[in-house]
Structure 1
Amino acid sequence: MYGTRSGTDERPSAVRGDGQRVLVVVGDQGVSELLSTTLELAGYRVGTARTGAEGMARIVADRFDLVVLDATLPDLIGLTRGLRPAVERPPVLFLTVCEYLDSLVPELGPGHEDYVTMPFRIAEVLARARVLLRGRDRGPVRRGPCYDDLALDDATCQAWRGQRALDLTPAEYRLLRHLLVNADHVLSKEQICRHVWGEDRAGNAIEKLVSRLRHKVDQEGAPLIHTRRGFGYRLGR
């Protein structure tokens, strides 16, 4: 099923990258190494994953400009349109076989996804990757601050913890954003009051707000919101 067509010795210098980060999610080690080596020689910085789950974890943890993805992997949920919107979804170049094209077509979107069929030619992979990366460079991406698996989308005022959407009130969102922007720093109740409400409030108002936010953010996974008694609150590990 895997493989390349004749012409794998084509020089990749015809299509050069500019240091963009590319994630190769391919199960076959030989094909993964071939793609990684070729993309690196072409000027890209390359990461690899062998499964869809590992690829998803890499995208959540790091920023990539393009994903080269084996569409025949069995565990691709989340790596295509299921990817949570708070994580910037990179363009995807699918590696597929003819039998999978019918199921793949609904995933394709202009300027965001493309495919090559296996066995593939390296020159075609490089050319299609470059087109997808050019489309990505045409406009700014709207995002928000993030920390670990916690992320905000300022365009929609939505917060996510891993794959879980957080249902936040406006005050909770402002508080979480302030904590994220100042991650690993202790913020006093007075600082939080001025940022969230623009005025001083009773101390228990902040305590109640932090308690509600902590319940939503930390109900699953490692705690991220911490109390520093006598000083204030901190977001971090």
Structure 2
Amino acid sequence: MQLGEIDRQDGRPPYRQIADHLRSAMDRGELTAGDKLPSEAELTRHYSVARMTARQAIQELRTEGRVVAEHGRGVFVRMPAPVRRLASDRFARKHREAGQAAFLAEADKAGVRPSVDQIEIDRATPPADVRERLRLSDDERVAVRSRRYLADDRPIEVATSFLPLTVAEGTPILEANTGPGGIYARLEETGHVLDHFVEEVTARMPTADERRRLELPDGVPVLVVVRTAYDTAGVPVEVCDTVKAAPAYVLEYDIPAR
């Protein structure tokens, strides 16, 4: 791997030039996922800079999420998360009829092994924005389902569903295992045949808890997808707030031009 030299005429500080050299080596494929970066001592000798300068260069790459430090071993190019392309038909009835919830259908298409853990079920007063989306009165309660999804044993998203308690009570929606087809299959069994979904997608940095649950290194953002499900009568029956590890996803939408 060729690191280059510090250009003293360059307006960029030396640590940024070093970070650029390492980043370029990754982009060229000279440093690939799992490879160990040169140590601070090696960078210090090569570039004839202070150790703090080398440390700042590595920290910049850590902040970007390009590398991860392992205590006692060094700094390594971060392994990529399994990429899952989310197609706009992932909530199609054909998947539910085949006994697959949306996550299972997506994982099957992506060729990864899906699993779910950290399942929590509760009955609660919803947050104000959820109450507004579900058109509930101030005193109405909701069923809350929180869970973490993994692909090939790597956590990639945390989802929390809110459903009117009048709809979910007495159904497997309030059980750990909702059965074939997931929540949406159970909703349709109660007579709420689904008609369409509205999704809002934003991006931000994760909270400390989200970073812990998704096992994200510093500097890695998340996608936040808030989805509202409507039945054929136009009644909102579920709000799902999903926090996704951004490097693990490509969102794909097929939008008719008519």
Same fold (TM over 0.5): no
Give the structure with the higher percent strand. Answer: 2
Give the structure with the higher percent helix. Answer: 1
Task: Give TM-score scaled by structure 2 length.
Answer: 0.25
Q: Which structure ranks higher in relative contact order (CA pairs < 8 Å, sequence separation ≥ 6)? A: 2
Task: Give TM-score scaled by structure 1 length.
Answer: 0.26
